[in-house]
Amino acid sequence: MNRSAFSPMLGVLATALGLSFGSALADVPDNTSNKDSILVTHDNGEMSLIQRASPSGLYVEVERVAAGLIQPQWPANQYVGSTHWWWVGQTNGTVRGMEFRREDPLQAMVDNPDRSITVDTYITPGRPNVGSNFAGVTPNGKTLWNSAREVDEIQEIDADPNSPTFGQILTRINVPYSSKVGTPTAAIGAMRPCDMSVSPDGKFLFEPDLGGETVTAVDIRTKQVAHQLLLNPLVAGTRVRPFMLTTNGKIALVENLEGTYAVIDVSNPYNMVEIKRLTQADGVGVSPQTSEFTPDGKYAFLIANGSPTVPGVVSVLDLATLTINKKIELPASCRPHAGDFSRDGRHFFVNCSNAQSLAVIDAKAQMLVQNVPFADSPTPRGVLVR
């Protein structure tokens, strides 16, 4: 049997077993404009492009470039919107936007200065010009909302490349101090807003305050704080330390450094209510990181990083019952942080920072179907599908 005839059979077998043969199949990436492009950022400033290949149907690394990013660990929680731009919150006091076209190689984006923009988010008297940013794009792609952690600000940034104020900060909202606000220093803020999630209708944003023990909601239309919800620790005298949040407009899932998920009813953003705290006893993994809602609205995938002795895992939360009914095993030593769905909702992609690979999960079957290795062992962190 010739190699080209044998390749599809290998692809089916590999998918079933959760394996990846990579370039050994001599696949040709299918980079047509209607196919997914998975962008993976690495801690060393590189960026990889992953696409599905023919004839095997497996995902393969197509290209890697030195994108000049500084620790691009958390690409924006965002909707595709009406433009080709995507955004990365960085740890050097900036947010970076890049124009990505699926028909072009990544190198074309990197080499063209007109296809990227850097926004300085830390111009604040008396504060250092460094710090972490966490950005979310509105559904129409026109506006970017950013949590500027070390200066305690929620910022509205013009994300419309056709606007005369493109890349400029339009609005600055100070995060109100809570009753459990932390102590600011020369380098860090007191409230420390630490993530950003915009509701599907584009009317509200929600962000957790690592230093304030709170979740803050902002009415995007009025550009005013709508409500701030204080979270109480499970153990008296300790801190919850909420640091990541994702919403579907009805509930918000908040990852806490105390090792839990807070489930918050945000259907009325002016009166948020915590309705459940998920712990390891409920099926949450060790060291919660992020969460994503499945496109069909039935589940949420909860990503936990694990520990040197406990594997990372994706727990499946049934949104009808708010119970975890399954854990999806990841490649050995994966240590995941973030994930994103394919545009058709069929696959969920998760970084494996310690295994130097990208895990591919079948969202319907809720099982690992492929592990895409990265050559030269970079540390993948951010995952974004376009």
For residue range 184-219, list pLDDT tens digits in order: 987 889 999 999 999 999 999 999 999 999 999 999
Tell me 298's DSSP state.
S
Q: What is the pLDDT of residue 91?
A: 85
Rounded distance, CA 152 to CA 185, Å? 12
Query: Is residue 345 included in any domain, yes or no?
Result: yes
- CATH number of the domain at 150, please: 2.130.10.10
Domain carrying residue 105: 32-41+63-385
Query: Is residue 3 included in any domain, yes or no?
Result: no
Residue 37 predicted with pLDDT over 60: yes
pLDDT-based confidence at residue 300 (cuts at 50, 70, 90) = very high
Query: Is residue 21 included in any domain, yes or no?
Result: no
Query: Is residue 18 included in any domain, yes or no?
Result: no
User: Each residue of 130-189: pLDDT tens digit?
Assistant: 889 999 999 988 999 999 999 999 999 999 999 999 999 999 999 999 999 999 987 889
pTM above 0.95, yes or no: no
Query: Is residue 27 included in any domain, yes or no?
Result: no
Q: What is the pLDDT of residue 180?
A: 97
Q: Are 338 and 322 in contact (CB under 8 A)?
A: no
Residue 23 predicted with pLDDT over 60: no
Query: Is residue 4 included in any domain, yes or no?
Result: no
Residue 302 has, within 13 A of its CA and on its CB side, a CA count of: 33
Distant-in-sequence, close-in-space partners of 214: CB < 8 Å, separation ≥ 6: 178, 180, 191, 208, 228, 229, 230, 231, 242
User: Each residue of 341-386: pLDDT tens digit?
Assistant: 998 899 999 999 999 999 999 999 999 999 999 988 889 998 988 8
User: Each residue of 74-126: pLDDT tens digit?
Assistant: 676 666 655 688 888 888 899 988 888 878 888 888 888 888 899 999 987 77
Query: Is residue 378 included in any domain, yes or no?
Result: yes
Q: What is the pLDDT of residue 106?
A: 86
Query: Is residue 77 included in any domain, yes or no?
Result: yes
Q: How many domains does the chain have?
A: 1
Q: Give the residues across from 253 on adjacent strands.
A: 246, 263
